[in-house]
Chain A
Amino acid sequence: MKHLLSASDLNYNSAIRVLDTARELSLVTDRPVKKLPTLRGRTVVNLFFEDSTRTRISFEAAAKRLSADVINFSAKGSSLSKGESLKDTALTLQAMGADAVVIRHGSSGAPHRLASAGWIDGSIINAGDGTHEHPTQALLDAYTLRDHLNGGVGDLAGKRIVIVGDVLHSRVARSNVILLATLGAQVTVVAPPTLVPVGIETWPCKVSYDLDAELDGADAVMMLRVQGERMIHSYFPTTREYSRRYGLNRQRFERISESGIVMHPGPMNRGMEITADVADAERSVIVDQVTNGVTVRMAVLYLLLGGFPDDSVDSAVESDQ
């Protein structure tokens, strides 16, 4: 496995391998010197076409803890806004000898283009592309879920996970549905019908328009960010109505499993999709998600640059071996 473009690039074995590797690497984080020499001399480029401080510094910290050289390339403006073309940017990175390119881009499929167009040799890691996918977010969410619900080992078999919000525009939801299903979880997606993608019946999840019907005994509720501007385009009438029907408040939170957790990929709209008291509740693991982001990304860099063992290579992904 050379690239990580989609959560579907990971089969069961390779997903478990990433999570187990992340768990081992998390021990490094507890040391006084948080550094391993593994990627010494390798170059990791953070190529961010969209502002995303939290994802960028997470990848930066991950690469640095593995002793890689990190170049932050903040490409203001893409081809869409008549900046430098993706191709020219890729050729520049190739000339610099990038071993891995972590790309965040507003266009769905931009990482796929980078991996398949022949402009660059390095590994491509999708750090969020348009409304397509965000596979490392799904990995850190899976890691967090496993940590809290399964003692940090094994998979998520039988766990009931409810994902709520703007699924249509959410790359986090796409990657999570795929990965959590791969790990055996029972995933339910809840959204107003206007924010459910066409063809969701082909996804490995259940779909519901009624949040209250899905909460009893859930092991985790993952709230997605909902942009207030969506109401301008008639996805829902008002932010108040959205909050009433799909927001996670204290009453709803109390209906999930006693050991159940609340997640959010951030940044949150407090008062919109989640109330402040729930966001700050004890069983809200939103801060853990950030911490786990670093170790999971260390594992991805380690495995992609160090080489995945053959038995976990997914046939859908071209191997460089």
Chain B
Amino acid sequence: MNESKYLIKGATLPSGESADIAIADGTFIEVGKAGSLDAAGSTVIEATGLQALPGLVDLHTHLREPGREDAETVYTGSQAAAKGGFTAVHAMANTDPVADTAGVVEQVWRLGREAGWCEVRPVGAVTRGLEGEHMAELGAMAESAAGVTMFSDDGKCVSDAVLMRRALEYVKAFGGVIAQHAQEPRLTENAQMNESPLSGQLGLTGWPAVAEEAIIARDVLLTQHVNSRLHVCHVSTAGSVEVVRWAKSKGINVTAEVTPHHLLLTDELAATYNPVYKVNPPLRSREDVEALRAGLADGTIDAIATDHAPHPTEDKECEWDAAAFGMLGLETALSVAIHTMIETGLLDWQGVADRMSHAPANIGRVYGQGQPIATGNAANLTLVDAATKWTVVPRDLASMSTNTPYKAMELPGTIQATFYQGVPTVLDAQLAQQKRSEA
């Protein structure tokens, strides 16, 4: 059993204390003061100066399998997750076939277990085929082996108010949550970028902030009315932050996520007409970025979620309006969080641990994840060297696709190691050779 015993020496915990962390049998068997634990019989990982975080949990990942295995698979996507420090991801339902039945969610869940790089939690579609007309069999997905708790038509909005109300009501039977992609469809027909003076100048159809804010406002009121639970995907505007803040002040059971790219990048990048910057919701203004950072800092926004959206080269190497929406995010998320939240002083490491692990694990009801690095808890952990910078090279990423908006950008923080249930998936900043074998 010696191979599966690890002693991480001298890592810095989110609280700022230095600690030795002993791992065996999938748990933290002991977490003690730095230098206090005996290394005998363990593989030692020298971690002085490295920041330890509980394994990161992503609420919003597109793994593309089944259907678009040319962009990503559960295997490659969960490798990318491990390299980014994640130990759990939520696989969005907009696959082909759509994850709207127990069969499909179980397939994705099983592929995740077989791959073994992290926990893959399928998200079930709210409506059949994401068509926004008939509710999918949410109960069957909840009771399947995949144990789905989060339901979303992400990529499309559940725009029908009655259907949204019914879905919010229905999931109360099994403690589910509706994760809404807030986008009023009529206000965003053929929308290409943030509606702003720049969209007018570039001749690209605008995606106005109100199309997001109006749906969030409606949904928090519906959630209050039927006393259910709502999660808002990829909040992108200052107005949305205000609406969520108001809803929380009224005690409405709503949570929200923001993507790394909306914390860093702005709509001015559209002036390049390079579709690598085309994403939905679109990149917004500098003022929106500031409001999102402030909302994440004060807890109005609960979590950072990547919206990792791989696309094959040909879907981005074309005219802007012909290109697919979406950008990679798993392998750069923590670096962007360090850059936008830690280096600005908006969050400390405790805060990052909360927004990228504790809070998303709680929202997704991911048991055994998002817990503090403490004796007896499941050994899900990432070690990051926050002092080093790295330059993003698309081809070096573990993802099968290369559509990262951070190409050639220098970002802080390299993931040195990731442990998923006590087994290293990343060691020495490389994917671990020894794959996890799991029954």
Question: Which residues in window 94-148 of A have CB below 8 A to B?
Answer: 105, 107-110, 112-113, 116-117, 129-133
A121–chain B nearest beta-carbon distance, Å = 18
Q: Is A198 in contact with chain B by the CB < 8 A criterion? A: yes
Q: List 13 A-B contacts (CB under 8 A).
A: A79-B318, A79-B322, A85-B317, A87-B318, A107-B319, A108-B273, A109-B202, A109-B320, A113-B274, A174-B203, A198-B195, A199-B198, A201-B197
Once A85-B314, A133-B203, A174-B201 are accepted as A-B contacts, the answer to whether A108 and B320 lie under 8 Å apart by CB is yes
Mark contacts of B30-43 with chain A using CB atoms, 8 A cut-off: 1 yes-contact digit, 0 otherwise: 00000000000000
Per the bound structure, the CA–CA distance linking A129 and B198 in Å amounts to: 16
B283–chain A nearest beta-carbon distance, Å = 15
The answer to whether A198 and B200 have CB atoms under 8 Å apart is yes
Once A131-B203, A174-B203 are accepted as A-B contacts, the answer to whether A198 and B322 lie under 8 Å apart by CB is no
Q: Is A78 in contact with chain B by the CB < 8 A criterion? A: yes
Per the bound structure, the CA–CA distance linking A202 and B201 in Å amounts to: 9
The answer to whether B318 and A86 have CB atoms under 8 Å apart is yes
Residue of B nearest to A196 (CB): B200
Band of interface residues on B: 20 to 34
The answer to whether B319 and A78 have CB atoms under 8 Å apart is yes
A154–chain B nearest beta-carbon distance, Å = 28
Using CB atoms and an 8 Å cutoff, list the residues of chain B in contact with chain A. 195-206, 208, 272-274, 314, 317-322
The answer to whether A87 and B317 have CB atoms under 8 Å apart is yes
The number of chain A residues with a CB under 8 A from chain B is: 30
Q: Is A213 in contact with chain B by the CB < 8 A criterion? A: no
The answer to whether A198 and B196 have CB atoms under 8 Å apart is yes
A120–chain B nearest beta-carbon distance, Å = 14
Residues of A within 8 A of B318 (CB): 79, 85-87, 113
For A79, A117, A201, the residue with the greatest tally of chain B CB atoms inside 10 Å of its CB is: A79
Q: Is A56 in contact with chain B by the CB < 8 A criterion? A: no
Contact of A108 among B203, B272, B314 (CB under 8 A): B203
Residues of B within 8 A of A228 (CB): none
9 smallest beta-carbon distances between A and B, as pairs: A199-B197, A132-B203, A109-B273, A197-B200, A108-B203, A107-B319, A131-B203, A79-B322, A199-B200
Q: Is A200 in contact with chain B by the CB < 8 A criterion? A: yes
The answer to whether A80 and B322 have CB atoms under 8 Å apart is yes
The answer to whether A109 and B206 have CB atoms under 8 Å apart is no
Mark contacts of A188-209 with chain B using CB atoms, 8 A cut-off: 1 yes-contact digit, 0 otherwise: 0000000001111111000000
Residues of A within 8 A of B205 (CB): 131
Per the bound structure, the CA–CA distance linking A168 and B206 in Å amounts to: 11
Residues of B within 8 A of A202 (CB): 197, 201
Residues of B within 8 A of A80 (CB): 319, 321-322
Once A112-B273, A113-B273, A174-B201 are accepted as A-B contacts, the answer to whether A107 and B321 lie under 8 Å apart by CB is yes
Residues of B within 8 A of A3 (CB): none
Residues of A within 8 A of B319 (CB): 78-80, 86, 105, 107, 109-110, 113
Residues of A within 8 A of B196 (CB): 198-199
Residues of B within 8 A of A116 (CB): 272-274
The answer to whether A171 and B203 have CB atoms under 8 Å apart is yes
Per the bound structure, the CA–CA distance linking A112 and B366 in Å amounts to: 46
Residues of B within 8 A of A200 (CB): 197, 200
Instruction: Beyond the given A78-B322, A171-B203, A174-B201, please list 17 additional residue pairs across the A-B interface where CB-CB is below 8 A.
Output: A78-B319, A79-B322, A80-B321, A86-B319, A107-B322, A108-B202, A110-B319, A113-B273, A113-B318, A132-B202, A133-B203, A198-B195, A198-B196, A198-B200, A199-B201, A202-B197, A203-B201
Residue of B nearest to A133 (CB): B203
Per the bound structure, the CA–CA distance linking A308 and B319 in Å amounts to: 28
Per the bound structure, the CA–CA distance linking A202 and B274 in Å amounts to: 24
Residues of A within 8 A of B317 (CB): 85, 87, 117
The answer to whether A108 and B200 have CB atoms under 8 Å apart is no
